[in-house]
Amino acid sequence: MASTYATPGVYINGASAQAASVVAVATAVPAFIGYTPRAVYQGQSCYNQAVKVSSFAEFQACFMLDNPPPPADPARQYSPQYYLVAQKGQPASGDYLVIDGVYYAVLPDPATLYYLYNSIRLFYQNGGGDAYIVAVGPYGPPSKQPVSDPAAQWVNPNVQLADLQRGLATLLNQPEPTLYICPEATLLAGADNATLMQGMLLQAEEMGTALCVFDIIGGANPDPVRYTQDIQAFRNNTGNNGLNYGTCYYPFIGTTIMQQGDIDFTNLFGGDIAQLAALINPPAAPNAAVATLLGLIEKPPANPMSNSQLQDALLNACPLYGQIVKHVLACANMLPASGAMAGVYTLSDNTHGVWNAPANMSIVGAVSLPINLSDPQQANLNVDPVSGKSINAIRLFSGQGILVWGARTLDGNSQDWRYVPVRRTVTFLEQSIKLATRAFVFEPNNANTWGAVKTMITSFLTDIWKQGGLQGAAPADAFQVSVGLGSSMTADDLLNGYLGVTVEVAVARPAEFIVITFQQQQAASV
C-alpha cells in the first residue's frame, strides 16, 4: 500500500492470488452407477454422464419420471415382480409363507430387480449429501417368470457388464467422488461381477481418490450353512490389485424404504390376476367380496377404481392377501448395504471427521437382517489368514439394534492400509495438499517457495492434529514436513524442475479390540 494518497477516492490494491493455506477437499462424495427409468439433465439426455446432485429431490427430477404410469409397467418405473411358487417342503433360505399347509417361496422375476433407486433413498435417509449419479440405461423388460430355485443366485439379464463398465469409465474425468458404489453389480453373473469389481479397484488405485464399497452376491438370502461359499467366491473374485482401495459389507439389510403403498396386485405374478385368484379366492373356499374386486381388476368398469383403492379393498376383504403383500414387501426391501453405508460415511465425516471409523453406528431404516452373525462367524469374515481380505459385518445386538460392526479394507494383511479410516484419511490429506500446491507450479524453485510450501502444509496438518485426525502428544509427534535441497530434493531435481515435498503423518487408528484384564487382588493381611 502506498504511504500517501493525494486525492480523495477509492483505491484498489492488487494482491497475489497464490494460495496461502490448504483447503480441505470433500471426503464423502459417492458416485453411484446403475440403471434409472430416465436420465434428463437441463433438457438433454444424460445417460453415461456423471451428474452431481445434492438431494433426493434433485435425483428424482433428473432420473425418475414426473408422471409415472401404473406400476404394471416395469419398464417405466421401479416395480419389481414377485411370484409365490409352491415347494415340496420348507425352503432352506429366502422368504416363504404357508397357505393351506403348502409352503410357497416368495421369488422375484430377476429381470425386474434394480437396486440403485432404493440405494439412493437409503443414502439420503442416512445423512447423505452431494453425490454423483451415473445412469447407464433404462430398465429392461420382465422375463415373466420367477427364479427357478429359492437358493439360486438372482441374475438380471437386463443388467449388463458393458453398461456398468462404461459408467465406471465416465468417472475417470471426475476426481471429486471419494466412493464408488454399484449396488446392481450383485445382479450380474459371478464372472461378470468379478470383472467389474477388479476394474473398479484398478481405477480407484490409479486415480487415488476413491474407495470402492462392495456388496456380496448371495447376501440377500444367505443359506445358514453354505453362506461361507458366497464369502469365498467374493474373495476369489476381487483379485489382488488395489485391495486397500476397497471395502465390503455383509449381509444385505432389511429396510423400510418401500412402504405398503409401493406394492400392490400388479407386482404379483406379472400382473396375472388368475394366479392370484387361485390363492386368495380358491374354489374350495370362495370369497364373494374378493371375487367382486378381482372382477373389477380384470374388467374395469366405465368409471374404474384406482389401483390404490382396489388395493385397500383387497387388504380389508382378505387377510391372506395382506400376508402375501407383507412377505413380498419384505423381499423387495432386502437391499445391498452399500447405499446406506455411503450415508453412514457422510454422517460420520460431518460429525467426527474422515479419520473416525464409520462403525459402531446404526443404519437408519434397517429393521432386519437375513442372517444374524455370531462372534465366531464374524471372526472368519474379519480376519482371513489366507487372502487377508476382510469383510465388515452388519450385526444385530440385543438392546442396541442393527450396527455396522467393522471398519476394514480388503487389504486386511497390510499393517498400513488395514483400516478404512486410515486409507480415507491419507487420501484426504494427499488430495488436499495436492490441490493446494498447484498454486506453486512455475514459481521459482528456491528457498522462498520452499518455505511457503512448508508453512502452508504444516499449518494444515497442525489443524488436522488439533481435530484429532493425527496421533501424537505434539505436532512434532504427529507429522513431519520436509521441503528443500538436501532434505526432499537433490541438485538434479532442481535442474529438472522438480520441487519435492516429503510429508510423514501418524494417522490415528481405530481401537478395534479393547482388552480388559481382570485380576483378583489378595486381601491385605492385618
For 468-519, write each residue's pLDDT tens digit: 999 999 999 999 999 999 899 999 999 999 999 999 999 999 887 778 788 8
How much is the pLDDT for 300? Answer: 87
Show the 3-state SS of 179-240.
Answer: EEECHHHHHCCHHHHHHHHHHHHHHHHHHCCCEEEECCCCCCCCCCCCHHHHHHHHHHHCCC
Higher-confidence residue: 283 or 512? 283
Coil, strand or helix at 313: helix
pLDDT 10s digits, 175-198: 999 999 999 999 999 999 999 999
Q: Among 75, 107, 95, 99, which Cα is nearest to 268's?
A: 107
Q: Average pLDDT of 5-34?
A: 76
Residue pair 129/346 in contact (Cβ under 8 Å)? The answer is: yes
Q: Average pLDDT of 231-254?
A: 97
Q: Report DSSP letters for 422-453, one per residue.
A: HHHHHHHHHHHHHHHHGGGTTS--SHHHHHHH
Burial of 250 (0-12, 13-18, 19+ CB in 10 A): buried
pLDDT 10s digits, 107-159: 999 999 999 999 999 999 999 999 999 999 999 999 999 998 888 889 999 99
Backbone angles phi, psi at 167, to 5 degrees: -65, -40
Looking at 56-70, 239-253, 358-372, 389-403, which range is the least confident one?
56-70
Residue pair 185/196 in contact (Cβ under 8 Å)? The answer is: yes
253-269 as b/e: b if 16+ CB within 10 A? bbbebbeeebbbbbbbb
Task: Compute how many other C-beta atoms are within 10 angstroms of the C-beta atom of residue 136.
Answer: 24
Looking at 20-29, 352-361, 426-435, 457-466, which range is the least confident one?
20-29
With a cut of 80, say whether residue 17 has pLDDT above it.
no
Distance CA 234, CA 216 (A): 6
**Domain limits of the chain?**
30-67+114-257+333-420, 79-110+266-329, 445-526
Looking at 73-77, 78-82, 364-368, which range is the least confident one?
73-77
With a cut of 90, say whether residue 381 has pLDDT above it.
yes
Q: Please list the residues that pair with 213 across neighbouring strands.
A: 181, 247
Q: Average pLDDT of 187-212?
A: 97
Residue pair 138/114 in contact (Cβ under 8 Å)? The answer is: no
Banded pLDDT at 385 (limits 50, 70, 90): confident
CATH class of segment(s) 30-67+114-257+333-420: alpha beta
How much is the pLDDT for 76? Answer: 43
Residue 487 parent element (H or E) = none
How much is the pLDDT for 1? Answer: 47
Residue pair 464/472 in contact (Cβ under 8 Å)? The answer is: no
**CA of residue 310 relative to chain centroid, distance:** 36
With a cut of 60, say whether residue 3 has pLDDT above it.
no
Q: Report DSSP letters for 50-64, one per residue.
A: EEEESSHHHHHHHHS
With a cut of 60, say whether residue 71 has pLDDT above it.
no
Residue pair 370/251 in contact (Cβ under 8 Å)? The answer is: yes
How much is the pLDDT for 14? Answer: 56
Q: Average pLDDT of 432-445?
A: 92
With a cut of 60, say whether residue 68 has pLDDT above it.
no
pLDDT 10s digits, 154-177: 999 999 999 999 999 999 999 999
Altogether, the residues listed in the chain come to a count of 526
Banded pLDDT at 305 (limits 50, 70, 90): confident
